[in-house]
Amino acid sequence: MIDAIANIFRIPDLRKRVLFTFGILAVLQIGKYVPIPGIDPSQIQFGQRGGGGLFSLVDLFAGGAFQQCSIFALGIMPYISASIILQLLTVSSPYLEELSKKGEEGRKKINQYTRYLTVAITAFQSFMLAFSFENPEAWGPIVYSSGWLFRFMTVFSMTAGTVVIMWLGELITERGIGNGISLIIFFNIVARVPDVTGRAIELLRLEEQSFTPLKALAVAIMGVIVIASVCLIQYGQRRVPIKRGRMVRGSRMYGAQSNSYLPLRINTAGVIPVIFAAAILILPATFLQFLTPLAGSDNAVASAIYNSLEYVANVMTPGGIIYTIIYVALIIFFCYFYAAITFNPKDVAENLQKYGSTIPGYSHGKRTEEYLTRILNRITLAGAVFLAAVAVFPDLMAVYMNIDPSITNLMGGTSIIIIVGVALDTVNQIENHLRVRNYDGFRKRGRVRGRSGM
């Protein structure tokens, strides 16, 4: 492990990529302490009305910026919401579906549409949030001077903040190491570890003992089990044996080979289903927070809208039956959705036939496609059920064991899935760079000395 880390800094290109990534992530951490113009951070009373529960998850993904009313308060969530919408439209819209088949050019066009939609979503959310900031019952007396100037500055600064995060995330993907958007969420969650650890220690010292040492031990054990399980499922594969047909090279004919296989990942979609499901579930509480000025309104329609949304938000409480069912259903849906996008059995069957390869016992064409589809559906279900179980378990612990949600959200479930998943993907990319240059990776498979002069 130490040798592999040292090798990172021996390769100039990889060293630049790693340092560039850490530099961007450090800038993002500094930016979350920049408050929105016109707001007094010392007066913030986060959580008085609708600030807990799901909003603790929003604040976790934003690295604490939401709680501090920073210009980065909305974080990368609007971009994720825009990505969800575009991904769903790609399946239903012929134009977007045609773009997705045009390779790199089509992907760039869809990414451009995603950026535009991100700006629109951020502008709308920040505009509604500006009204919420002006209500002392929701946040406390944090606004120096209410009015349209404050609302405009809030929309401008928060939209600019999200655009900067999105731009820096794309820079990490292009010039750094790993997926930029995933790394930003990863780093924001990790940045919350000291605060949550301090909160846990503080609760342990309270006289009412709401967070006992036994509960702390249970959370720690849960975290270890989840980490081990996520690592296992991330690397889990269903290996489909492939028999290569006879090949003619020059004047020689090579016989059929059956020592190769087609790897199908159990968790094809990675951490995407969990992030997308969480982004959708926070919508009721988000709109409720935005529409706080309608509370107690004399207008019957406005009051009815607010009361209805408040009822939905209360029903959708983490750990509740309805919330758990919807959360599990969304995770399973996105697992199958992304598996269908990233792996097409029909295309794979055609490619196997094209290169003269077959799956033993199955003929080319329809039978191979049906066999791959059946395997993919089974392993996707297993991966989806696992992700759903890990994601909802911390919420159940928070409700039935009376543990602070901020602790369970960080030490298990969604946070651990994201942290472990992103970390493994990033490590895999670093290993690829190391092995291309004949250096050992983090998981050694025989020692290979680096080339001289590198």
306-351 pLDDT tens trace: 777 777 777 777 767 888 888 899 999 988 888 887 788 888 888 8
- For residue 233 the two structure tokens come to 């499922």
- For residue 39 the two structure tokens come to 């707001």
CATH number of 1-191+447-454: 1.10.3370.10
Share of the chain above pLDDT 70, in %: 81
412-440 pLDDT tens trace: 667 777 788 788 888 888 888 777 776 66
* Among 377, 417, 419, 357, CA closest to 393: 417
Average pLDDT value for residue range 268-278: 79
3-state secondary structure 127-195: HHHHHHHCCHHHHCCCECCCCHHHHHHHHHHHHHHHHHHHHHHHHHHHHCCCCHHHHHHHHHHHHCHHH
CA gap 397, 223 in Å, rounded: 12
CATH 1.10.3370.10 location in the chain: 1-191+447-454, 208-412
* Among 281, 246, 216, 262, CA closest to 375: 262
pLDDT of residue 338: 84
Q: Is 46 helix (H, G, I), strand (E, B) or coil?
A: coil
Q: Is the pLDDT of residue 259 over 90?
A: no
pLDDT of residue 146: 82
Mean per-residue pLDDT over the chain, rounded: 78
Q: Is the pLDDT of residue 285 over 50?
A: yes
Whole-structure pTM value? 0.74
pLDDT of residue 116: 93
Nearby residues of 24 by Cβ (< 8 Å), 6 or more positions away: 168, 171, 172, 176, 180
CATH number of 208-412: 1.10.3370.10
pLDDT band at 452 (very low <50, low <70, confident <90, very high): very low
Average pLDDT value for residue range 216-237: 80
Residue 156 contacts residue 4 (beta carbons within 8 Å): no
CA gap 425, 431 in Å, rounded: 10
pLDDT band at 46 (very low <50, low <70, confident <90, very high): low
Q: Is the pLDDT of residue 156 over 90?
A: yes
pLDDT of residue 447: 44
Q: Is the pLDDT of residue 120 over 90?
A: yes
Burial of 250 (C-beta count, 10 Å sphere; 0-12/13-18/19+): exposed
Nearby residues of 109 by Cβ (< 8 Å), 6 or more positions away: 99, 102
Place of tokens 């903040």: 161
pLDDT band at 411 (very low <50, low <70, confident <90, very high): low
CA gap 58, 253 in Å, rounded: 61
